[in-house]
Chains A and B, each alone.
Chain A
Amino acid sequence: MDMNQYLDMFIEESKEHLQAINANLLILENDPTNIQIVNEIFRSAHTLKGMSATMGFEDMASLTHEAENVLDLIRNDKLTINSEIMDVIFQSVDLIEGMVIHITEGGDGSADVSNPVRQLRAIVSGDFSAQQEVAAASAVAEPEAVAIEATVESSDRDYGLDDYAQTVLKQSKDAGNNLFWIKVTLNDNCLLKAARAYMVFDQLESLGDVIKTTPAVQEIENERFDQSFEVVFVTMHPLEKVKTAIQNISEIHEVLIEVISVKKTDQETPVAKTTAPVVNETKKQETAQPAAGRKPAAGGKTIRVDIERLDILMNLFSELVIDRGRLEQLAREIGKTELQETVEHMSRISGDLQSIILTMRMVPVEQVFNRFPRMIRDLAKDLNKKVNLEIFGAETELDRTVIDEIGDPLVHLLRNSLDHGIESVIDRKKAGKSEEGTIELRAFHSGNHVFIEVKDDGAGINKDKVLKKALERGIVTQAVADTMTDKQIHELLFASGFSTAEVISDISGRGVGLDVVKTKIESLGGSVGVDSIRGKGTTFLVQLPLTLSIISAMLVQVKNEKFAVPLSSIIETAVFKKDQIMMAHRQKVIDFRGRVVPLVSLQEIFQIPSDQIETDDEVAVVIVRKGEKMAGLVVDSFIGQQEIVLKSLGKYMVNVFAISGATILGDGQVALIIDCNALIK
């Protein structure tokens, strides 16, 4: 079977299961007696095993198999969780994650699993061996996912067993085994049918022996069956256990089990008796409304869409926005009421369409936040600190492109908080704080932005140390340093060149500085700030745009050319008299609210050709900022504020000075977007 077409799905599902395992393991670590959680983890691990085995990733399958054995013991109360076991399981999960990444990158997912496999086996055999019999007999906790089941009342069923099978059945029966006829029906939307079937067989084989299947095993492996297949099965386990085992596999629609009675007479075929235990009778009622009480199946209400398709949709839509602008203009010129009304209606609809398309690209930050608890746990262990990570607002949504990029900067901020913010247990006690530090990770919406806050209750920033370091590194001069406010000193953390590998351990220590974080966030159109109270803690606040594809901008005109200035960098627009312009060091400056702001002539910077001579005695200026610094861009006129669709200039022209991209205006022409950061030194 060609597996390539399933590879993407396999990778996606594996990631989801690993994510779930990680999250659940953390819960389990805090609440080791929660068997429900173990069951969840077990199910995820089991699915992973089945999928990886079907896809031919043997190392992954064998490792998950061993992990599953350990989990099985835990959930059957045969093994008590301790931190060693948790660590081994965490390591195994890491290894599996590595394999998935390897597979994603086109590898075969092979890895040396012998070490964790040995450890896992040691756990299984060491603490547990003699009680196996008991485990077999003990009832398994009913999982909360209630699969639909039913029993069929049929008196004479032909199992199509040959003489040999008959004999085997008879002997097994005599030996006190149970004989079952099982019919498994898969969900209609089950894609990896062979994989699910494999998982069913795998499960069955761990409980007993499969005598016969309809269709034949070969057929099932090649996915040549409809939604269901039948199995004749010999086991020493009770019906209920077999049923539960199969139902634990996902995407199983229905499991039908009948007891086969082998007649001692000469009759050729065994006959089934209806023997569904009483427990099942109550469930039969529930089957009247199919799918009721089931976990929402993946693929029920959502679909996966390639992000590229959304980009194409977005592109097409922006075409429409441009035409809309043109139509509005034409309708005004023509002045016919009916036409204007129709165009207005269309504008409103396309406005709604725009917001829907934008929300389609939005995903909850949860995707990024999910991996942090695990990371903090490991890091806290390494650093020998006690930390509690609290996450708020994980459901806050952000544009997919931002989500993809924001992970690393956040990891950096969190590590920073843990490494340098939170004190050691001893220091915390000395300071009269609780042993366990707290890091709050909070995401929330405000206006057109999403804010992400990383807040710790650690020692706060040591201003003197920061200043000393900044002076040593020549980032500030003594004269400047004397006049700096607390806030300005804190901002020094983000200065490039501030943090290097041998920097005092109090502020950084990894060779990568917070300036990298700042650069990254600014490249996403956001900003980052820091606030700190000595002894109380530090708060980093990251501000991000809701979306990268549409931004608000001010359109300005210089001679015959139009430019867009992102609203996010504009402080305000103003008109000055020519005689208000002063000279300082051959640089034109103006006095803007008591501050001396340098003027930048767009005409000079962009070498804009001009044939007319300046006669105006007023200049229009857009005051823009980069952090605390400001500059005034001299333009000819302001056209107005507008939502613009961001477009790249393409690969042919990279790194054009002071231009961050382009947009298409209502008249179909291209206007360039000014990168204000490049204009402010």
Chain B
Amino acid sequence: MLEQKEIVGEVKVIVFRLKDEEYGVEVQQVRSIEKLEHITRVPRTPKFVKGVINLRGVVTPIIDLRKRFDLEESEYSESTRIIIVAVNDLEVGLIVDAANDVIDIPVDAIEPPPEVVGGVEAAYLRGVAKLDKRLLILLNLDKVLSTEEINQLDAFEG
């Protein structure tokens, strides 16, 4: 059984919660998971950019994922986490409601995303993984962190 799994191939993902859904990002893209700390607001940036934090000496930008996906806002709580991800030389922190699991998903359990999942546009998704009882939404971080949109917004606001 175990051997069979290896042949199919698996992806190790960090699971986090946003609103009522569970999402996953590949473990290779995750640098660390931090507790919420003081965020310095950066003026005149898009709404979903919460600001910057001091991450062990490196000034790291922080994105509120709820706002990024136009989900309803909620107060930050004890379980709120910042997941530091690295994509294409960019290191960015994502604010999520909770992060508490690492699981292996067989590649063949991943299906292409439907048009809209949990209010998040399909463009930001890599796929949906069906596991025994749970549905896991895999994020396309390249798209989520695309700076094109930021620059467009910049032009708009500036």
Interface residues on B, range: 20 to 34
Which listed residue (B40, B42, B89) contacts A651, Cβ 8 A?
Answer: B89
Q: In whole Å, how far is A548's beta carbon from the nearest beta carbon of chain B?
A: 16
User: Could you say which of B20-28, B51-59, B123-131 contacts chain A?
Assistant: B51-59
Measured in the bound complex, the distance between the Cα atoms of B92 and A649 in whole Å is 11
**Are A653 and B158 in contact, CB atoms less than 8 angstroms apart?**
no
**Are A655 and B57 in contact, CB atoms less than 8 angstroms apart?**
no
**Are B41 and A650 in contact, CB atoms less than 8 angstroms apart?**
no
**Are A561 and B40 in contact, CB atoms less than 8 angstroms apart?**
yes
Question: Cβ of A669 < 8 Å from any Cβ of B?
Answer: yes
Measured in the bound complex, the distance between the Cα atoms of B40 and A441 in whole Å is 45
**Interface flags, B129-158, vs A, CB<8A=1, else 0:** 000000000000000010100110010001
B59 to chain A: which residues have CB within 8 Å?
647-650, 662, 664, 670
B60 to chain A: which residues have CB within 8 Å?
650
**Are B61 and A652 in contact, CB atoms less than 8 angstroms apart?**
yes
Q: In whole Å, how far is A224's beta carbon from the nearest beta carbon of chain B?
A: 42
Q: In whole Å, how far is A317's beta carbon from the nearest beta carbon of chain B?
A: 10
In the complex, residue of chain B having the shortest beta-carbon distance to the beta carbon of A606:
B43
Measured in the bound complex, the distance between the Cα atoms of B157 and A657 in whole Å is 10
**Interface flags, B23-50, vs A, CB<8A=1, else 0:** 0000000000000001011111100010
**Interface flags, A651-665, vs B, CB<8A=1, else 0:** 111111111001010
Measured in the bound complex, the distance between the Cα atoms of B158 and A654 in whole Å is 13
In the complex, residue of chain B having the shortest beta-carbon distance to the beta carbon of A659:
B42
CB-CB under 8 A for A657 and B90, given A316-B57, A652-B150, A670-B53: no
**Are A607 and B44 in contact, CB atoms less than 8 angstroms apart?**
yes
CB-CB under 8 A for A669 and B56, given A650-B90, A654-B147: no
In the complex, residue of chain B having the shortest beta-carbon distance to the beta carbon of A316:
B57
Q: In whole Å, how far is B146's beta carbon from the nearest beta carbon of chain A?
A: 10
Q: Which of A616-665 contact B (CB under 8 A)?
A: 647-659, 662, 664
**Are B42 and A653 in contact, CB atoms less than 8 angstroms apart?**
yes
In the complex, residue of chain B having the shortest beta-carbon distance to the beta carbon of A664:
B54
CB-CB under 8 A for A605 and B52, given A648-B59, A669-B38: no
**Are B89 and A649 in contact, CB atoms less than 8 angstroms apart?**
no
CB-CB under 8 A for A652 and B90, given A669-B54, A670-B52: yes
**Are A657 and B57 in contact, CB atoms less than 8 angstroms apart?**
no
In the complex, residue of chain B having the shortest beta-carbon distance to the beta carbon of A663:
B59
**Are A650 and B61 in contact, CB atoms less than 8 angstroms apart?**
yes
Question: Cβ of A249 < 8 Å from any Cβ of B?
Answer: no
In the complex, residue of chain B having the shortest beta-carbon distance to the beta carbon of A657:
B44
B150 to chain A: which residues have CB within 8 Å?
652-653
In the complex, residue of chain B having the shortest beta-carbon distance to the beta carbon of A645:
B57
**Are B43 and A659 in contact, CB atoms less than 8 angstroms apart?**
yes
**Are A655 and B154 in contact, CB atoms less than 8 angstroms apart?**
yes
A648 to chain B: which residues have CB within 8 Å?
59
Of A316, A318, A650, most B-chain CB atoms within 10 Å: A650
Question: Cβ of A522 < 8 Å from any Cβ of B?
Answer: no
Q: In whole Å, how far is B114's beta carbon from the nearest beta carbon of chain A?
A: 29
Interface residue tally for chain A (C-beta within 8 Å): 30
**Are A652 and B145 in contact, CB atoms less than 8 angstroms apart?**
yes
**Are B52 and A319 in contact, CB atoms less than 8 angstroms apart?**
no
B43 to chain A: which residues have CB within 8 Å?
605-608, 656-659, 672
B52 to chain A: which residues have CB within 8 Å?
649-650, 653, 662, 670
In the complex, residue of chain A having the shortest beta-carbon distance to the beta carbon of B41:
A561
A561 to chain B: which residues have CB within 8 Å?
40-41
In the complex, residue of chain A having the shortest beta-carbon distance to the beta carbon of B44:
A657
A655 to chain B: which residues have CB within 8 Å?
151, 154
Measured in the bound complex, the distance between the Cα atoms of B51 and A608 in whole Å is 13
Measured in the bound complex, the distance between the Cα atoms of B60 and A662 in whole Å is 10
**Are A662 and B40 in contact, CB atoms less than 8 angstroms apart?**
yes
In the complex, residue of chain B having the shortest beta-carbon distance to the beta carbon of A648:
B59
Measured in the bound complex, the distance between the Cα atoms of B154 and A657 in whole Å is 9
Question: Cβ of A551 < 8 Å from any Cβ of B?
Answer: no
Question: Cβ of A98 < 8 Å from any Cβ of B?
Answer: no
Question: Cβ of A671 < 8 Å from any Cβ of B?
Answer: yes
Measured in the bound complex, the distance between the Cα atoms of B56 and A316 in whole Å is 9
**Are A664 and B57 in contact, CB atoms less than 8 angstroms apart?**
yes
Question: Cβ of A315 < 8 Å from any Cβ of B?
Answer: yes
Question: Cβ of A143 < 8 Å from any Cβ of B?
Answer: no
A672 to chain B: which residues have CB within 8 Å?
40, 42-43
Measured in the bound complex, the distance between the Cα atoms of B58 and A648 in whole Å is 9
B51 to chain A: which residues have CB within 8 Å?
670
Q: In whole Å, how far is B67's beta carbon from the nearest beta carbon of chain A?
A: 15
In the complex, residue of chain B having the shortest beta-carbon distance to the beta carbon of A602:
B43
B41 to chain A: which residues have CB within 8 Å?
561, 608
Q: In whole Å, how far is A321's beta carbon from the nearest beta carbon of chain B?
A: 10
**Are B54 and A651 in contact, CB atoms less than 8 angstroms apart?**
no
Question: Cβ of A668 < 8 Å from any Cβ of B?
Answer: yes
**Interface flags, B96-137, vs A, CB<8A=1, else 0:** 000000000000000000000000000000000000000000
Measured in the bound complex, the distance between the Cα atoms of B59 and A536 in whole Å is 51
Q: Which of A454-477 contact B (CB under 8 A)?
A: none
**Are A656 and B45 in contact, CB atoms less than 8 angstroms apart?**
yes
Measured in the bound complex, the distance between the Cα atoms of B41 and A623 in whole Å is 24
**Are B57 and A670 in contact, CB atoms less than 8 angstroms apart?**
no
A605 to chain B: which residues have CB within 8 Å?
43
Measured in the bound complex, the distance between the Cα atoms of B40 and A656 in whole Å is 14
**Are A653 and B54 in contact, CB atoms less than 8 angstroms apart?**
no
Q: In whole Å, how far is A676's beta carbon from the nearest beta carbon of chain B?
A: 15
**Are A649 and B40 in contact, CB atoms less than 8 angstroms apart?**
no
CB-CB under 8 A for A668 and B40, given A653-B45, A653-B61: no
Measured in the bound complex, the distance between the Cα atoms of B90 and A389 in whole Å is 46
Measured in the bound complex, the distance between the Cα atoms of B42 and A672 in whole Å is 8
B92 to chain A: which residues have CB within 8 Å?
652
In the complex, residue of chain B having the shortest beta-carbon distance to the beta carbon of A318:
B57
Measured in the bound complex, the distance between the Cα atoms of B112 and A276 in whole Å is 85
Measured in the bound complex, the distance between the Cα atoms of B38 and A671 in whole Å is 11
**Are A654 and B54 in contact, CB atoms less than 8 angstroms apart?**
no
Measured in the bound complex, the distance between the Cα atoms of B90 and A654 in whole Å is 12
**Are B56 and A319 in contact, CB atoms less than 8 angstroms apart?**
yes
Which listed residue (A315, A322, A670) contacts B40, Cβ 8 A?
Answer: A670
A664 to chain B: which residues have CB within 8 Å?
54, 57, 59
Q: In whole Å, how far is A650's beta carbon from the nearest beta carbon of chain B?
A: 6
A651 to chain B: which residues have CB within 8 Å?
89-90, 147
B44 to chain A: which residues have CB within 8 Å?
606-607, 656-658
A654 to chain B: which residues have CB within 8 Å?
147, 151
Q: In whole Å, how far is B46's beta carbon from the nearest beta carbon of chain A?
A: 9
Q: In whole Å, how far is A663's beta carbon from the nearest beta carbon of chain B?
A: 8
B145 to chain A: which residues have CB within 8 Å?
652
Measured in the bound complex, the distance between the Cα atoms of B153 and A654 in whole Å is 12
B158 to chain A: which residues have CB within 8 Å?
657
Q: Which of B67-113 contact A (CB under 8 A)?
A: 89-92
Which listed residue (A608, A647, A658) contacts B58, Cβ 8 A?
Answer: A647
Measured in the bound complex, the distance between the Cα atoms of B44 and A607 in whole Å is 8
Measured in the bound complex, the distance between the Cα atoms of B89 and A650 in whole Å is 10
**Are B89 and A670 in contact, CB atoms less than 8 angstroms apart?**
no
**Are B89 and A669 in contact, CB atoms less than 8 angstroms apart?**
no
9 A/B residue pairs, CB under 8 Å, sorted by A: A318-B57, A607-B43, A652-B145, A653-B45, A656-B44, A659-B43, A662-B59, A670-B52, A671-B40
| A-B pairs, 10 with minimum CB distance | A606-B43, A670-B40, A319-B57, A652-B61, A657-B44, A662-B59, A647-B59, A664-B54, A670-B52, A670-B54
Other A-B pairs, 9, CB within 8 Å; known A652-B145, A655-B154, A656-B42: A649-B52, A649-B61, A650-B60, A651-B147, A654-B151, A656-B43, A656-B45, A672-B42, A672-B43
Q: Which B residues lie at the A interface, using CB under 8 A?
A: 38, 40-45, 49, 51-54, 56-61, 89-92, 145, 147, 150-151, 154, 158
